């Protein structure tokens, strides 16, 4: 897609949000020219964007967001090959229905277990050979277990750290190396942490998950300082409770904890990934956040304030 075509898509999104009746009491809308200039900072036109754990859930939302921001070359990396293929088809068909006539982005599935350093390296090399140098990585592959600390087995504890921390590091390291090798000097790496990096969730026990996310946040800060002079930014996106398809199953269980989660969230609701996370992830991926690195962007409806 050309830069001009991408700008037209972004402008149409901007125009439709301006005509939304819910904005009737909001601040006055900027002129088309002002908004054009601002929106260009958020454009991902010409940037190859890859997301791990994108076969479903938040990862897939991030790819949707990048497509809507002008990215035309994207990769969905996940351990689940069939779901990754399906995810790419969903992203393309959704884009086609939202932007009739616009060129469909090239979104490709790649099956990879992020805990295998070798598999990660091979996959990153394959993506570069298929799509060109990578500009944006979102590392979203992760798992959560609800097990009391007194009965946590060593193997379960290790598994959480292996995927959430080691696997995320292997991806971040491989992509950062590729950025240096390919002279990408405006790279953006986004680690998906969680508000659990800074608070302890209640009532469910999840010590390994919480500790793993604290590690992710500090890993981002550490890598950000090392890579800043290479023109690579490393930030964290730390969501609160998001209403994903996975959560639907939890909400159906008797005594589900969502009432407690909502009660403890100042905004009194769960997050809606398609509305609440697309903007923040595009902000971190794009030049709109060009002077930000090592930052943890918490998107939790205020949960961690209390």
77 or 102, CB closer to ligand NAD? 77
Q: Which is nearest to 105 in space by CA: 77, 66, 151?
A: 66
**Taking CB under 6 A as the rule, does residue 38 contact ligand NAD?**
no
**Taking CB under 6 A as the rule, does residue 109 contact ligand NAD?**
no
112 or 227, CB closer to ligand NAD? 112
Angle at 287 between CA 69 and CA 215, to 5 degrees: 95
Given the residues 87, 194, 212, 289, the one annotated as active site: 194
Residue 255 burial class via C-beta count within 10 angstroms: exposed 0-12, middle 13-18, buried 19 and up: exposed
Active site residue 194: yes
| Contact mark string toward ligand NAD, 55..84, x via CB under 6 A | xxxxx------------------xxx----
225 or 246, CB closer to ligand NAD? 246
Look up residue 296 and give its two tokens.
Answer: 């943890």
**Taking CB under 6 A as the rule, does residue 280 contact ligand NAD?**
no
Nearest distance, CB of residue 262 and ligand NAD, angstroms: 13
| Contact mark string toward ligand NAD, 148..177, x via CB under 6 A | ---------------x---x----------
**Taking CB under 6 A as the rule, does residue 281 contact ligand NAD?**
no
Do residues 234 and 191 make contact, with C-beta atoms less than 8 angstroms apart? yes
Cα–Cα dist 272/265, whole Å: 14
Cα–Cα dist 107/103, whole Å: 12
Peptide bond into 74 cis (omega under 30): no
Q: How many residues does the chain have?
A: 306
- Tell how many helices (H) and how many strands (E) occur in the chain: 12, 7
Do residues 295 and 217 make contact, with C-beta atoms less than 8 angstroms apart? no
**Taking CB under 6 A as the rule, does residue 191 contact ligand NAD?**
no
Active site residue 177: no
Active site residue 153: no
| Contact mark string toward ligand NAD, 233..272, x via CB under 6 A | ------x-xx-x-x--------------------------
Cα–Cα dist 193/199, whole Å: 12
Look up residue 131 and give its two tokens.
Answer: 């799509």
Choice from 192, 220, 232, 285 touching ligand NAD (CB under 6 A):
192
In the sheet where 136-139 sits, what is the strand order?
A: 106-111, 73-78, 48-52, 136-139, 187-192, 232-239, 296-299
Given the residues 73, 110, 193, 209, the one annotated as active site: 209
**Taking CB under 6 A as the rule, does residue 86 contact ligand NAD?**
no
Residues of the shown chain interacting with ligand NAD in the complex, contacts defined by CB under 6 A? 52-53, 55-59, 78-80, 112-115, 140-144, 163, 167, 192, 194, 239, 241-242, 244, 246
Q: Which residues are catalytic?
A: 194, 209, 213
């Amino acid at each position: 897609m050309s830069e001009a075509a991408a700008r037209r898509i972004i402008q149409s999104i901007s125009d439709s949000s301006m005509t939304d009746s819910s904005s009737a009491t909001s601040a006055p809308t900027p002129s088309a020219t002002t908004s054009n200039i601002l929106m260009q900072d958020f454009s991902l036109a010409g940037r190859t964007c890859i997301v791990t754990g994108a076969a479903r859930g938040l990862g897939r939302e991030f790819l949707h967001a990048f497509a809507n921001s002008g990215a035309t070359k994207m990769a969905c990396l996940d351990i689940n090959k069939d779901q990754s293929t399906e995810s790419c088809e969903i992203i393309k068909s959704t884009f086609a229905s939202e932007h009739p006539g616009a060129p469909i982005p090239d979104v490709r599935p790649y099956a990879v277990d992020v805990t295998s350093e070798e598999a990660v390296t091979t996959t990153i090399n394959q993506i570069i050979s298929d799509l060109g140098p990578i500009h944006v990585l979102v590392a979203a592959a992760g798992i959560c277990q609800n097990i009391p600390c007194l009965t946590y087995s060593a193997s379960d504890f290790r598994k959480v750290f292996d995927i959430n921390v080691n696997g995320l590091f292997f991806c971040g390291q491989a992509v950062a190396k590729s950025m240096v090798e390919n002279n990408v000097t405006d790279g953006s790496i986004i680690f998906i942490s969680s508000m659990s990096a800074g608070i302890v969730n209640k009532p469910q026990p999840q010590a390994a998950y919480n500790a793993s996310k604290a590690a992710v946040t500090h890993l981002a800060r550490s890598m950000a300082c090392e890579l800043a002079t290479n023109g690579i930014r490393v930030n964290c996106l730390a969501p609160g409770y998001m209403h994903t398809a996975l959560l639907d199953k939890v909400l159906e269980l008797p005594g589900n904890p969502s009432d407690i989660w909502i009660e403890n969230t100042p905004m009194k609701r769960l997050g809606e990934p398609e509305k609440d996370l697309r903007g923040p992830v595009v902000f971190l991926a794009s030049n709109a956040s060009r002077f930000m690195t090592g930052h943890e962007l918490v998107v939790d409806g205020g949960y961690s304030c209390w």
